[in-house]
Amino acid sequence: MNQGKLVFAQLTEHLPLTTFRRCVERYRGEFKVRRLSCLDQFLCMAFAQLTFRESLREIEACLSAQNSKLYHMGVRAKRIAKSTLADANETRDWRIYADFAQSLIGIARRLYAEEPFGVDLNETVYALDTTTIDLCLSMFPWAPYMATKAAVKLHTLLDLRGNIPTFIHISDGKVHDVNVLDELIPEPAAFYVMDRGFLDYARLYRFHQAGSFFVTRARSNMEYARRYSHAVAQHSGVISDQTIIFTGYYAQRDFPAPLRRVRFVDQTTSNTLIFLTNNFALPALVIAQLYRCRWQVELFFKWIKQHLRIKRFFGTSENAVKSQIWIAVSVYVLVAIVKKRLHLKPSLFQLLQVLSLTMFERTPLDQLLSFATTDQDMPNAPNQLTLHGI
């Protein structure tokens, strides 16, 4: 008797599998593959992310215990062997999962397009930042960072409407953060909020010429001349609002246009912050509020490191590491999509906790996750992303 689909199968129903097959064909992912397909590999790795598995041996043990349910999970392989999954991670092109994650990101961004993010602004606002994942140099020699340490960097562009990562570039630890600006295609009228690590005047001038706006912190030794001082509201925290030009030779050569310099005092910490932006239309206080929203990308990094498997890797090759990271991003975005489509109120942390224990149950997904909204005893994690219910 049919008792309904497994929770895992109901969750993966929201995946655009036609798009996945196109990604596989694009990179010939199943050339000479006999046993474990790319989709089987993706589903097994997604299962590991959702159930917090820490190794290939754990994945094999868990799926072997439920071997009769593999078909109902969508996995067509009769058995999942640790060695077979390891070989797939080593050899299947990571770009398959990167492209598929980008398609999921496109779906999620449309769903969260009207989501507020703390500033009353119609334009798209991105937060750009980088996080480092430390590795063992002897096991990951392709990712040098220091003399005795390896690392990979995740350069991430986060859409603040829904906290959806729209761009991720994975590099070794030696790549400087500012180089990621060369990988971005500026979006006209969009705002890019970043810290001083991305302050490169020539690269920012490319954004300026494309019609994009940026908000960043100024260097303490910046050489400039004031052209005009704008009026500021009292008791707003804004000390000065100036139009400036660079006077230093290299800065003036790289960024010949005027800029806006906003000096702001954070009333909670009494710290004085100086912002640079090429937008002259927004009030100075809104510029300061935009930079404060940049903290959401820091929370995003903290969240994925704590709740997804991207600090301990199932393989040591560059391909295996990138595949695991992109599949983890896909799982994050998939849960965000399900949350929006089913109009669920719990945070992503709560949803993952429920899903991790119910993968092999047959309860309808909307009932299972809606039930969590009425459970007042479920504690909120202090380190979860709380904006917009995520």
**Residues 6+ positions from 82 with CB-CB distance below 8 Å:** 56, 57, 59, 60
The DSSP bridge pattern shows strands 144-146 and 259-265 to be unpaired
Residues 32-53 have pLDDT tens digits of 888 899 999 999 999 999 999 9
326: pLDDT strictly greater than 50 = yes
In this prediction, residue 226 carries a pLDDT of 94
pLDDT reported for residue 388: 44
Mean pLDDT of 290-295: 92
Looking at residues 375-388, what average pLDDT do you find? 44
Q: How far apart are CA 29 and CA 23, in angstroms?
A: 8
Residue 268 has pLDDT above 90, yes or no: no
User: Which pTM does this prediction carry?
Assistant: 0.90
**272 vs 377, more confident:** 272
Half-sphere exposure of 55 (CA within 13 A, CB side): 4
So what's the pLDDT on residue 371?
59
- Work out the mean pLDDT of the chain and round it to a whole number: 90
Q: What mean pLDDT do residues 312-318 have?
A: 93
- Binned at pLDDT 50, 70 and 90, residue 320 comes out as very high
Mutual orientation of helices 38-50 and 56-65 as an angle, nearest 10°? Answer: 100
8 A C-beta contact, residue 155 and residue 133 = no
Answer for the pair 365, 346: CB distance below 8 angstroms, yes or no: no
Query: Mean pLDDT over residues 336-343, rounded?
Result: 94
pLDDT greater than 90 at residue 366: no
